[in-house]
Each structure stands twice: as C-alpha cells, then as structure tokens.
Chains A and B, each alone.
Chain A
Amino acid sequence: MMTLLIDNSPVLIPLIFLATALLIPVVAAKRKTLAWPLAFWATIAVVAVSIFNVRRVICDGPVHYRLGNWAPPIGIEYVLDHLSAFVILVINSVALLVLLHAKKVVARELPHKRVPYYAAVILMLCGFNGIVITGDLFNLYVFLEISALSLYGLIAAGEKQSPVAAFRYLIMGTIAASFYLLGVGFLYMETGSLNMADVKAILPTVIDQPAILVALVLMVLGMGIKMALFPMHGWLPDAYTYAPTTSSAIIAPTGTKVGAYVMLRVMFFVFGVNFVSKTLPLTQIISWLSAIAIIYGSVLAIAQKEMKRMLAYSSVAQIGYIGLGIGLANPMALIGALFHVLNHAFMKACLFLVAGNFRYKLGHSNVSRLTDAVRKKMPWTMAAFTVAALSMVGLPPLSGFFSKLFLILGAYENSAWYFIVIIFISSLLNAVYFFRILEKVYMRPRIPVPGQEEETDVKRDEVSASMLLPTLILAAGLIIFGILNAFIVKGIINFMIPAGM
C-alpha cells in the first residue's frame, strides 16, 4: 500500500482534488457543514503529498510518471521536477491556509452556496496542480479549462458587480485558452507530438518553420492574459475586487502564478532559452512589458480607496516582477522571479486575508475609512499586515527584499540599469500606498485635547483563531523565507535553471 502511494505520488495530487471535488456535492448534499471539512482535509492530504514530492525530487531527482503506464509521446506524462514540485507546494500550502481562514468567512458571505463553492475551489486547485505537473501540452490545456471554469464561478459568487467581472474574465480567459490551444495546434502540426520533452527534442529540426514562431507567440500571448501581464491585465482588478473574500485570497496568490509557470515552462523548457531570447527578442519584449506593469500597477494601486482593489493593482505590479525575472533570462533574475512566486503568493494571500478580516469585523475594507480604532480592535491582524506591507516595500530581512535583490543582480548581469531604476521607483510607490494605511492605523491624526483622557471605548475585537492563525502564519512565512532564502535558493530553486541559460 505504502509503496503504491509512493510510486504514484505525482498523480495523487490532481487525483485527490478531483475525487474531492466530485465527492463534496454528493456527501454534503444533506449536511452542508460537511463541505468545508472535506475540502480542508483533502488539501491537507495534498500538502502532505506535495511536501513528500519536494523531498523526493530533492533526494532522487526528477520523476517522470506515465499515466496508465502508457509510454510518451502516446501516453500522458506527469513530470515532477524541482520547478513543478516547488510551484505545487507553494500553491497548495497557500490554498490550505486560505481554506482554514475560509470556514467562517464563507459561512457568513455565502451561507447558501457553501457546497458548490467548496467544490469549485477544490476543482480549481485540481486544475492548477494539473497544469503544473503535466508534461503534456494538450493535457495542460484540459487542466487550464478545468481551472478556468471553476474560477469564473468562484468570482461570480461575490458582490453584485461580480458576475460582470466574471463575464469579462470569461471572455478574456477563453481567448487566452484559445490562443494557447491554437499554439499547441501549430506546434503539433510541425512536430507531431504533444509531449513537452518530445517536442523539445524534435523542435531543432523544424525550428525555421514560421509556424513554430506563430505557435510560440500564441502560447505566450495566451499565458500573458492568464498571468495578467500588462497590457493584458484588464480582467484582473474587477475580478479580484468583487469576488468573495476567499476567492480573491485564493486566486490572487495562485492563479497568476500558474500562468507565469506555464509561460516559463513553455518558453525555456520547450522552445529553449536561446530561441526565445536570441532568435526572437521575445524575452526582451516581456521584460519591457513587465517594467511597464510594475510602474502602472503601483501607480494605480496608490489611486485606489478600496483595499482589495489596491491589492489587485499591486498584483499587476508584482506579476511584473515575476515577468521581469523571466524576461531578463539569466540565472540570477530567474531565481528572483521564482523566489518571488513564493513570496508574492504568501504576501498577497496574507494581505487579502487581512482585507477579509477587516470586512468580517468592520464590514468594509475601505482604506479611507480606516482609523486607529482598527489597531486597537485587531492588533494581531494589523501586525500581520505590517509585516506583509514591509515585505512588499522590500525591506530586509523580509523575503520581498531578497527577491528584489536577486532581480537587481539579474538586471546588472544584463547591464540593464533602467530596470533597476524601475524596481526602485516601484519600491517607493509601494511604500507610499502601504505606509498610507499604516499611518492611518497606527496614528491618531486628531489633535489631542489637553487634559482630556484618551478614549478607551474601543474594545479589542480580534477575529477568531481560525481566521487569525493563517494570517499570522503567512506573515511569519515572510520573515522565515527572508532569513532562510539562501537555503531555499540553494536547496531547490538553483536546480530549476533551464539548460542553456
């Protein structure tokens, strides 16, 4: 039994999620309260498997798993290498923490839709994990659609504007998926294969074909939309703002990362570093778009009053960091991008959970209405927010600092000093929109009347442990990743550098 589980550990991840997603509506049909425990425990199981997988990859090297024992390129192959194992662990651990937080939030925000909601969350995670683990280009498309369909539902379950936001995303997402599929089609036409490793092996023989160029551009465009790379980010702000708290908290850290992962996988591991950076100036275009995204996202984040919307624009900027790391296409920058995948997942999840805590206790998450009463009511939530905010600004020894440092070193490697300037400006802009909140919450701008005692009518009213714990764990993660970045980079990220970089 144990060996069976161990041998099949790569496939277990999507499988557990798929089974749970189907199980939830059946089991919880009568007793709605069962939906959450099912989703939660399934995610715990998956996280356990993910940790095991990471360990397995680090110890034994990449694992190639043949689905149904059909040999590739006919059969579907799951590839568990350092990159996929790492991204999967990041996605699932963040998802687990958000799910822990979700119990109370969903019970309040969506009391009647609990069962389909959790089923959709789990189905989406199934899709995300499948995308990351599969070594088959078409299978990736299938998982892409699985995740996208559940995503639309998860977004549309929110406030009254959310169906419009979801519809917008549906259109963009469908275009993205179609682009990707078309690209895969062209690639299949030329190479006759859908297996990534196989395609990579065949590509050099057909590399001069224009269809290959078209395929690459279509796939990158599709993923650009999925990861909300400027100027294809239009769907993101509305979707994140109007979606239910849990949806934004789970989609923001994971969804766009998966898009970035596919872009990276396709560009560097299928087409090859040389082709995308030398033959075509694709990586250069991506780095410039990312640079614009960083500034654009940060500036618009400053302009927002609603915290969730602010975080959404900040996501556009942060994805720019990841895109920049991919676009610079050198080891240091890529380490920065990959480390930022981890960091941003934790930072954004933490910040969205904080916004959720605000909404739960205050009924709003409007930046302009925050006062020092918030700190007195929710000191721990605010402590988590402070840590995440400082990490976003990029202050050492928090993890955000180190992803920036890697990116700066990567930029020097390419002598691209202008990107360093971009990173600087964005750090300062980040400081503006986070310190704006910190100032409001930690200070009393009112002029104290002499002789009058401070009002003490604000009682502590912190969220319950199940909501507080994940928020704090995410914040603690930022400190730990920052201090231990060398271990993470040397232990796993270093092995993700593609050949030829």
Chain B
Amino acid sequence: MNSAETYTSIIPLLAVLVSLIAVPLILLSSKFKNLRESWTILAALIKFGLVLSLLPGALAGKAAQCSVLEIFPGIDLSLRADPFGVFFALIASGLWIFTSFYSIGYVRGAPEKKQTRYFASFAVCLSATIGIAFSANLISFIIFYEILTIATYPLVIHKETKKAIDAGRKYLIYTLTAGLFLIAAAAWTYQITGTLDFKAGGLFGSAVLDPRDAVMLFLLFLGGVGVKAGIMPLHSWLPSAMAAPTPVSALLHAVAVVKSGVFAVIRVVGFVFGPTMMAKFGLDTILMTLAGITIIVASLIALRQDNLKKRLAYSTVGHLSYIVLGAALLTAEGFTGGMLHIAFHATMKITLFFVAGAIYINLHRENISQLNGIGRVMPWTMGAFTIGAIGLAGIPPINGFVSKWYLGLGAVQADNLIPLGILVLSGLLNAAYFFPIVYIAFFKKGEGLEGKGEAPLLMVVPIVITATLSLLFGIYPDLFFKFYQLAVNISAAILGGG
C-alpha cells in the first residue's frame, strides 16, 4: 500500500507456521486423541493471537513485512500483513478456533475414520490460508494458493465413498486448472511489468497495455481466482465438494477456501489492476455481469435443493458474488461492503453449516424435507440457524444487513441501479430458500423425534457463539476487531493509490 508504512516483523511468518508446526505433532500423537486435538486447539489459539497482535498496526495503516528467502530470481517469498491481509487472516484464524472445537464433536460423534489425517490436513489448510492473506506478491500467493488446493483434497475425499472420490476429482480438475491460469496470468504480468508485488491501486504503474491484452490478462486472472470464488460457470466443484464432512464445508467451503477466492478477486481488482485500469478497459463490466448472473442463478438453483448442505452451497456461491460485485463497483462503499461481507458472510454461513452438521450427527438427517419439527428438539441449534438465515436475507439487526447496506450504497455511488436491483432480488430469493426451513423446523409436527435432544455440547456451543457474533456485528460492526474501520481504510487505500 502506498500510504502504509512497512515495518519488519516476524509475526506474519509465525502466524503462517504455527499450524504447520502443529502438523507433525498431530501426526505423532495419532494414538492419543485428546493430546492430538489439544495441538489443534493450541495452534488455533496461538495463530489467532498472533494475527490479533497485528491488528493495531493494521489499523494505524502499517504493514508488518517479513521476507523469507528469494523464491524465484528477483522475487522473494515475502509475507506482508497489510490491513487487507490482516482483515482476512483475522476471520480465518478466528473461525478456526470454533471449527476446531466443533470438529472434535463432529468427528467423534460421526464417528469418522482417519481422524489424524483430518486434523493434520486442516492445520495445513489454515497455514495456507494465512499465507494467502499475507502474501506480498503473486508468486508467494500462488504458492500458498496451490498448497491450499492440495491440502483440501484429502478433506474433500475424506469419506472415501465413490461420491467423495468423484467430488475430489472434480475439485482437483477445477482447482488445478485454475492454478495454471493464475500462473499464466502472473507470468504475463511479470513479463509486462517486471514486478509482482501487490500494490494498492494497481501494480502496472505506467506500463502500457493493449486493450485486447488487458481483457485477456484479466480473464486469465479471473480463470485463476474465479474457481475458488465460485463465479459461474466455474462454481460447480463447490456443491460437489459438500461430500466432505460438515466442519470442512463449514470452515473451508464457507470461509477459508472460497474466501481465499474472493480475497484474490479483490487483490486482483484493487492491487494488481487497480480501479483506474479496471474502468479504463471495461473490466469492471465483465466482472459485474458475471457476479450479477451468479447471484441470481445460484439463488434460483438453491431454491430447488432438498439436501440442506447443497442448498447452503449454492447460497454460498451466490453470496461470494456479492463480494465480487462489491469489488466490481469500484467505489469506496462497494469495496467496504464487499470486504465486510467477507467477514460477515463467514460468521453467518459457518453457523448454518454447523447447524447442518449438528442435525446430521444428532438425527442423521440431511434433507430439508426431513426437518419438520426439529426446532422443538434442537431449539438452540435452530435458533442459531434462524439468526443466520435472517442475516443472509439481509434483514437487520444481523450483520448481513450491514454489508449489504454498504454494497447497496456502493451501487448508488457508482450510479448504477442494476446491481442494486440484483441485491434486492437476491435478498428476496434468500428469504425464499431459507425461511421455509425455519418455518417447518419450528411450526410443523415432526416424526421420530421422541427422546432426541440437542447435539453434543462441543457442537452446540460453537454454533451459538457464531450466531451471537453475527448478531453483535450486526448491531455494532466495529466490535472487537474494527472490521468496519479496517474495510474503510483499505478501500480508501485502493481508490487513493491509483
């Protein structure tokens, strides 16, 4: 960031490494379940603490940088905790803590096989995610991005059923291809500019680009980051990947992996191309069109899913494009809204996935049509679900409203009412596919629920906490972490830097 001063600090590196160090410990203590899980919890807490310690600096507009080594001639493997990186890292590492507790309850309740592999892969994923958040240049970014791809694969195929294996294949085909696009895009950028360092407002500087080349390059980038961001038509791995255990869907396919995708979209829009170039070559229109179509189509498909996790997956696809849309608006409020939605969608969607997992573990039910009356036996769980659903529909006082409000403001600011219309329509569709679940859960009479109660405490507590967070952030977005303040600063930097 132009305005952000940089100071040398090893904390970003430590934040990445913590969970990586936990991996051998997890593998070595595979015979002792409680010890093994305590490594995960410990790593999650330390990681969050480290990221949190970077927050004051980020709020002051400073970035902690740590160059590890020269990974490619002329390019360092470099970690730079700029405000945007800290913003994303906070969400990912914070929610990992809840997911870890929840995971323990889930895998023991299921009970899942190969739990050691599960927890070890999870830890690698988190290292990669924080690495993505803190990458100072495209090469470092690609390295962590690909590590994330590979580390997620064992989690997607975890159940080792035919369905899971097919999903794993699909996942690999999509993400590996995406990785190649990203590499091609990065190499091309390097060829043009000789630098790959992210820079608020764009890294091209004075380089002259042919309009056709600019569009091609942007599409290459989009092919690279669009898969993880679930932009249609690159989204279809995500619903398939729901074959994974629910905590994986919750953290990775609602937070870490897909948010890495949209994080990357914002990096590309704000830190590679920059708003000026985006507008100059009409790239914002391309992005906005894709995002708009994705939001509507994904919501329509979500309406027709009976499998709860599938419905959540399509809902995720739609909401990811909210963020993309926010970036495509190229306005201060748009960026702010998009970034806030990274954080707020995470707390809401993780709640919903946690709920789906709790229902599955507790009642072995996966389909919405089987959920009649479960609100009466699992009041806390379904209460949390209701909060998440209200938020995703964009109704106050849940945090989903806040991010959507700023997205709407961004559209107005951009003097473009089409995105605003899309947001309103999507809100209605969200209500249409979530509220019936709430309704049948609480008001219809259920069968076979006698003697059933809440899910294990290790699962219910995280659910309640994430739902409460959604509510609190809805009332006071700057609570604890000053997400709003950060988002405003970042969008100012992006728009001011170009």
Which residues of A are at the interface with B, using a C-beta cutoff of 8 A? 390, 393, 395-397, 401-402, 404-405, 408-409, 412-413, 420, 424, 427-428, 431, 435, 439, 442-445, 447-448, 454, 483-487, 489-490, 494
User: A420 to B191, Cβ gap below 8 A?
Assistant: no
Q: Is the CB of B160 within 8 A of A443?
A: yes
The segment from B179-187, B348-356, B476-484 found at the interface with A is B179-187
Interface bits B88-105 vs A (CB < 8 Å: 1, else 0): 000000000000000000
Verify B176–A486 contact, CB threshold 8 A.
Answer: no
Pair B184/A431 contact, Cβ less than 8 Å: no
A-B contact pairs, 16 of them (CB 8 A): A395-B147, A395-B149, A395-B150, A395-B179, A397-B71, A402-B72, A412-B187, A412-B191, A428-B180, A431-B172, A439-B165, A443-B157, A483-B69, A485-B71, A485-B73, A486-B71
Once bound together, how far apart are the Cα atoms of A424 and B75, in whole Å?
23
Instruction: Specify which of A408, A431, A442, A484 is in contact with B176 (CB 8 Å cutoff).
Output: A431
B75 to chain A, nearest CB (A): 8
The answer to the question of B142 belonging to the interface, with a C-beta cut-off of 8 Å to chain A, is: yes
B70 touches A486 (CB 8 A): yes
Note all chain A residues with C-beta closer than 8 A to B75: 486
Question: Of the candidates B74, B176, B184, which one forms a contact with A393 in the assembled complex, judged by CB atoms under 8 Å apart?
Answer: B176
Tell me whether A489 and B157 are in contact in the complex, defined as CB-CB below 8 angstroms, given that A390-B150, A420-B184 are known contacts.
Answer: no
Q: Which residues of A contact B142 (CB under 8 A)?
A: 396
> Is B417 positioned at the interface, with any CB of A under 8 Å from its CB?
no
- Chain B residues with CB under 8 Å of chain A are 69-75, 77, 113, 142-143, 146-147, 149-150, 154, 157, 160-162, 165, 168-169, 172-173, 176-177, 179-180, 183-184, 187-188, 190-191
Task: Report yes or no: B70 in contact with A445, Cβ–Cβ below 8 A.
Answer: no
Q: What is the bound-complex CA distance between A424 and B173, given in angstroms?
A: 12
Task: Provide the bound-state CA to CA distance between A484 and B71, in Å.
Answer: 6
The answer to whether A409 and B160 touch across the interface, beta carbons within 8 angstroms, is no
**Residue numbers in B under 8 Å from A393 (CB-CB):** 176
Complex contact B180–A490 (CB within 8 A): no
For B150, the closest partner residue in chain A by CB is A395
Which of B113, B147, B169, B188 touches A396 (beta carbons < 8 Å)?
Answer: B147
Of A397, A402, A447, A487, the residue contacting B161 (CB under 8 A) is A447
A395-B146, A485-B71 given; A408·B184 CB < 8 A = yes
B173 & A405 in contact (Cβ 8 Å cutoff) = no
Contacts of A494 in B (CB 8 A): 73
Bound Cα distance A405, B180 (Å)? 10
The closest CB in chain B to the CB of A490 belongs to B73
A427–B176 alpha-carbon span in the complex (Å): 9
If A445-B162, A483-B71 touch, does A397 touch B143 (CB 8 Å cutoff)? yes
**Cβ contacts under 8 Å, A489 to chain B:** 73
Say yes or no: A396 contacts B146, CB within 8 Å.
yes
With A393-B176, A397-B71, A485-B72 already in contact, the answer to whether A445 and B160 are too (CB < 8 A) is yes
* A487→B70 contact, CB < 8 A: yes
- The listed residue (B69, B70, B183) touching A405 by CB distance below 8 A is B183
On whether the beta carbons of B180 and A427 are closer than 8 Å, the reply is: yes
A409-B187, A494-B73 given; 13 more Cβ-contact pairs under 8 Å = A393-B176, A395-B147, A397-B77, A408-B184, A409-B190, A412-B187, A420-B184, A420-B187, A428-B176, A448-B160, A484-B69, A486-B70, A486-B73
Instruction: Tell me the complex Cα distance, A30–B184, Å.
Output: 60
Q: Are A405 and B176 in contact (CB under 8 A)?
A: no
The closest CB in chain A to the CB of B142 belongs to A396
Asked whether, in the complex, the Cβ of B191 is within 8 Å of the Cβ of A409, the reply is yes
A275 to B157, CA, bound (A): 54
Question: Counting chain A CB atoms within 10 Å of each CB, which of B113, B162, B168, B191 scores highest?
Answer: B191
A393-B175 Cα distance, complex, nearest whole Å: 13
Complex alpha-carbon distance, A267 and B381, angstroms: 72
- Tell me the nearest residue of chain B to A494, going by C-beta: B73
| Residues from chain A with Cβ under 8 Å of B154 in the complex | 442
A444: chain B residues at CB < 8 Å are: 160
- Per the bound structure, the CA–CA distance linking A486 and B150 in Å amounts to 24
- Which residue of the partner chain, among B69, B173, B179, B183, contacts A408 with CB atoms under 8 Å? B183
Contacts of A408 in B (CB 8 A): 183-184, 187
CB neighbours (8 Å) of A427 from chain B are 176, 180
Contact B70 A396 (CB under 8 A): no
Question: Would you call the interface of chain B mostly helix, strand, loop, or mixed?
Answer: helix
Chain A residues, Cβ within 8 Å of B157: 439, 443
**A-B CB proximity, top 3 nearest:** A486-B70, A396-B143, A412-B191
Instruction: A490 to B179: give the CA distance in the assembly, Å.
Output: 26
Instruction: Tell me the complex Cα distance, A53–B71, Å.
Output: 26
A402 neighbours in B (Cβ, 8 Å): 72
- How far apart are A15's CB and chain B's nearest CB, in angstroms? 36
Q: Which residue of B lies closest to A395 (CB)?
A: B146
With contact pairs A395-B146, A435-B172, A445-B162 given, residues A405 and B177 touching in the complex (Cβ less than 8 Å):
no
Residue in B closest to A402 when the chains form the complex, CB atoms: B72
How far is B147's CA from A431's CA once the two chains are assembled, in angstroms? 15
Q: Once bound together, how far apart are the Cα atoms of A495 and B355, in whole Å?
A: 60
Given the known inter-chain contacts A397-B71, A402-B72, A483-B69, please indicate yes or no for A424 contacting B187, CB distance below 8 A. Answer: no
Kindly state the separation between the CA atoms of A390 and B69 in the bound complex, as whole angstroms: 22
Q: Cβ of A439: which chain B residues have Cβ within 8 Å of it?
A: 157, 165, 168-169
Do A424 and B160 touch across chains, with their CB atoms under 8 A apart?
Answer: no
Shortest Cβ gap from B437 to chain A (Å): 29
Q: For B180, what are the chain A residues with a Cβ–Cβ distance below 8 Å? A: 424, 427-428
Q: Is the beta-carbon distance between A428 and B173 smaller than 8 angstroms?
A: yes
Which one of B113, B143, B177, B183 lies within 8 Å of A428 (CB-CB)? B177
How many Å from the CB of A125 to the closest CB on chain B?
31
Chain A residues with Cβ below 8 Å from B191 are: 409, 412-413
CA distance A404 to B186 in the complex (A): 13
Compute how far the CA of A408 lies from the CA of B186 in the bound complex, rounded to whole angstroms. 10
Which B residues are CB-close (under 8 A) to A409?
187, 190-191
Cβ B72 vs Cβ A405 within 8 A: yes
Q: Which residue from chain B places its CB closest to the CB of A393 in the assembled complex?
A: B176
Report the Cα distance A443→B243, complex, angstroms: 15
Whole-angstrom distance between the Cβ of B237 and the nearest chain A Cβ = 14
Q: Which of B77, B149, B157, B183 has the most CB of A within 10 A?
A: B183
Q: Which of B113, B165, B183 contacts A404 (CB 8 A)?
A: B183
Q: Which residues from chain A contact B172 at a C-beta distance below 8 Å?
A: 431, 435
Chain B residue with the shortest CB-CB distance to A485: B72
Q: How far is the CB of A154 from chain B (nearest CB, A)?
A: 37
Residues of A close to B77: CB separation below 8 A:
397
Which of A395, A396, A442 gathers most chain B CB within 10 Å?
A: A396
Cα distance, A397 to B73, chains bound together (Å):
14
Smallest CB separation, A452 vs chain B (Å): 12
Inside 8 A of A487's CB, which chain B residues have their CB?
A: 70
Report the minimum CB–CB distance from B165 to chain A (whole Å).
6
In the complex, A427 Cα to B73 Cα: how many Å?
23
Query: What distance in Å separates the Cβ of A226 from its nearest Cβ neighbour in chain B?
Result: 31
B71 nearest in chain A by CB position: A486
Task: Give chain A residues whose Cβ lies under 8 Å from the Cβ of B69.
Answer: 483-484, 486
Q: How far is the CB of B34 from chain A (nearest CB, A)?
A: 21
A483 to B168, CA, bound (A): 28
**Minimum CB–CB distance for B152 against chain A, Å:** 13
Contacts of A454 in B (CB 8 A): 113
Measured CA separation A415–B90 after assembly (Å):
41
Which residues of B sit under 8 angstroms from A424, Cβ to Cβ? 177, 180, 184
With CB as the reference atom, state the residue of chain A lying closest to B173: A428
Q: Do the beta carbons of B188 and A412 come within 8 Å of each other? A: yes
Q: Which residues of A contact B190 (CB under 8 A)?
A: 409
CA–CA, A390 to B180, complex, Å? 14
Give chain A residues whose Cβ lies under 8 Å from the Cβ of B177: 424, 428
How far apart sit A490 and B142, CA to CA, in the bound complex (Å)?
22
In whole angstroms, what is the CA distance A390 to B21 when docked?
Answer: 21
**Which chain B residues border A420 with CB–CB below 8 Å?**
184, 187
- Docked complex Cα distance between A439 and B153 (Å): 11
A401 vs chain B, min Cβ distance (A): 8
